[in-house]
Amino acid sequence: MADVTGKVVLITGGGKGIGYGIATAFAKAGAKIAITGRTVATLEHAKQELEEKYGAEVLMVQGDGGEEETVNNIVKQVVDHFGGLDVLINNAMASKSGTSLIDHTKKDFDLAIYSGVYATFFYMKAAFPYLKESKGSVINFASSAGFSGKPGQASYAASKEGIRGLSRVAATEWGEFGINVNVVAPLVMTEQLEAWRKQFPDVYEKTIQNIPMQRFGDAEKDIGRVCIFLASEDAKYISGETIAVQGGTALRP
């Protein structure tokens, strides 16, 4: 496996779901980890498990990524605690999934845009000086909902595609500073995906049929390990790419 020993990794939404799977993979690989989220109890539980099971050094910082001042403070706390920042992983996002486009409200769209595009934008801006110093990596999260047009995902897909565009521009602008920026589009069985499966069973079955391995990915073993590779020196030549990780198969859409 690619080497990320001692790297400082900031994972938004790292207390549960895909984010926790990613945090677990980095903990096992010897990285220093900062996790953020909106619920203190969730973060505390994740921190305790990561420290006790894998001996990782973990910093938890509560906050809403849709608020720029909060994000600036979170990044400062991470850098003050660990002495720097090597990897930024923008995973967290909330949305009104399962609502048709015509039934979406501006409030629904604001939820997805602020927790997705704006949060990613804020974290990237705040982290840039430190990533420039470390010649670090940014890994942002998109979704196949955007580039395949899944029903019931209007605001979610719009925000995720916005993140992809933002990432490509950053990859172009930040390459001269040694910072690589890539996007992962995961398809992982989570509580949210299970709810979507129940609401759209026909679409779910079609989705499964289009996955080469006929299964959904694993947050730690599939998504986490891809992130470790992208955060390592082995992947410094890769930037501006979108990697769709579906059922353990990495594809380039």
Residue 169 pLDDT greater than 80, yes or no: yes
User: Which of the 8 DSSP states describes residue 35?
Assistant: E
**Confidence at residue 188, expressed as pLDDT on a 0 to 100 scale:** 82
Q: What would the mean pLDDT of 172-187 be, rounded to a whole number?
A: 96
Q: What would the mean pLDDT of 3-19 be, rounded to a whole number?
A: 96
44 contact partners, CB below 8 Å, separation of at least 6: 60
- The pLDDT tens digits for 196-232 are 778 778 877 877 777 777 777 889 999 999 999 999 9
Q: How confident is the model at residue 91 (pLDDT cuts 50, 70, 90)?
A: very high
**Confidence at residue 249, expressed as pLDDT on a 0 to 100 scale:** 47
210 falls within a domain: yes
Strands 58-62 and 180-187: unpaired
Q: How far apart are CA 95 and CA 192, in angstroms?
A: 10
Q: Which of 118, 130, 156, 204 is catalytic?
A: 156
Q: How far apart are CA 180 and CA 243, in angstroms?
A: 14
Answer yes or no: 130 catalytic.
Answer: no
221 falls within a domain: yes
Cβ-contact 243, 182 below 8 angstroms:
yes
Q: Does the global pTM surpass 0.95? A: no
132 falls within a domain: yes
Kindly tell me the sign of the dihedral angle through the C-alpha atoms of 87, 97, 170, 235: positive
| Residue 220 three-state SS | helix
Amino acid at residue number 32: K
**Confidence at residue 252, expressed as pLDDT on a 0 to 100 scale:** 53
Q: How far apart are CA 62 and CA 146, in angstroms?
A: 28
109 falls within a domain: yes
- What is the DSSP code string of 105-171? -HHHHHHHHIIIIIHHHHHHHHHHHHHHHHT-EEEEE--HHHHHT-TTBHHHHHHHHHHHHHHHHHH
Residue 83 pLDDT greater than 60, yes or no: yes
40 falls within a domain: yes
Q: How confident is the model at residue 45 (pLDDT cuts 50, 70, 90)?
A: very high
Q: 136: domain range?
A: 8-251
Residue 250 pLDDT greater than 70, yes or no: no
218 falls within a domain: yes
| Residue 34 three-state SS | strand
Q: How confident is the model at residue 253 (pLDDT cuts 50, 70, 90)?
A: low
Q: How confident is the model at residue 148 (pLDDT cuts 50, 70, 90)?
A: low
**Confidence at residue 245, expressed as pLDDT on a 0 to 100 scale:** 82
**Confidence at residue 202, expressed as pLDDT on a 0 to 100 scale:** 83
2 falls within a domain: no
CATH number of the domain residue 36 falls in: 3.40.50.720
Q: What is the mean pLDDT of the chain?
A: 90
| Residue 215 three-state SS | coil
42 falls within a domain: yes
Strands 87-90 and 8-12: parallel
More confident residue, 60 or 97: 60
Comparing CA positions, the residue from 85, 189, 91 lying closest to residue 140 is 91
Give the whole-number percent of the chain exceeding pLDDT 90: 71
**Confidence at residue 133, expressed as pLDDT on a 0 to 100 scale:** 98
* Domain count along the chain: 1
